[in-house]
Structure 1
């Protein structure tokens, strides 16, 4: 069984714990982290906004790229340590949601965590990338709460019924 665990800062421990609980002992586990492709572009764009006042040796794009790679490596190492089992680390750069879907192409299970409003039950508990992944995943998905789920009282009331027309 091939299991992909999407590692995202802030929610990754719950995903790793879910893999430890739900993946078979002999599963091929891939810990996946995706760095947004436009991260360095944003830093370079801000620098370019200085309208020629910035010096090229101070372009922050390269530094941001190195910091992002170091952060991804650190997260993947921590996740592998927490997993405590053999695994593969997959570090990608690109459109996050599309890279996650592509990484799950041959998987038997994809594990991800809710990353939106986690104070209420419902669709807003998913951020845009997670919603895309959930809607487009080519395999079964295990969606976990990074902390205990909110109570049923957080479900919004149903819409009012229209008056009976008779």
Structure 2
């Protein structure tokens, strides 16, 4: 069984810990990091439009792309060390949620950390990207709470029952 672990800044340790706990029988553990190309592209656009003087200094796009790639490598290094198991590293670039769904094709399990409001139970604990992945994943999904689940008292009351 192939297990995909989606690594996201800030929540990746919980995803890696879940893989260690639940992926014992996995034939392959894949650490997945996706970089959204928009950040570097936006910097380039803002720079080239700056007072119409496109050639007046070093373009920050390349530097930002290098920094983004460096942090991805560091994140993958840290995740691999924390996992402590043989694994495959997969770096993709594109619309994050779509790249994660595509990477999960043929997998036996996809591990996703909640990325929304994690102070209370409920649908808002999933942000836009995680909601898309959960709704479209072509395999079973293990959804983890990065800091542990909130207390059951945070669940909204049940709606009144109508006959």
Which range, TM-score by smaller chain?
over 0.9
Q: What is the RMSD computed on CA atoms of the aligned residues?
A: 1.6
TM norm structure 2: 0.94
Q: Name the counterpart of 2:131.
A: 131
Deviation, structure 1 residue 147: 0.6
- Looking at structure 1, the residues matched to 160 and 62 of structure 2 have their Cα atoms a distance apart, in angstroms, of 54
Question: Superposed, which structure 2 residues align to 1:13-162 within 5 Å?
Answer: 13-55=13-55, 57-160=57-160
Alignment correspondent of 1:12: 12
Give how far 1:51 is off.
2.5
CA gap 1:26/1:155 in 2 versus in 1, 3 angstroms:
closer
Gaps of 5+ in 2: none
Output the CA distance in 1 between the equivalents of 2:97 and 2:64.
21
Whether the 8 Å CA contact 2:3–2:26 is kept in 1: the answer is no
1:57 deviates by 4.2
Instruction: Say if 1:49 and 1:159 are closer, same or farther in 2 by CA, change over 3 A.
Output: farther
Query: For this pair of structures, how many residues does the alignment match?
Result: 163
Q: Give SS of 1:63's match.
A: helix
Distance of 2:123 and 2:93 partners within structure 1? 27
**SS of the counterpart of 1:5?**
strand
TM-score of the superposed pair, with normalisation by structure 1: 0.92
**Mapped partners of 1:44, 1:59: distance in 2:** 7
Structure 1: runs of 5+ lacking an equivalent: none
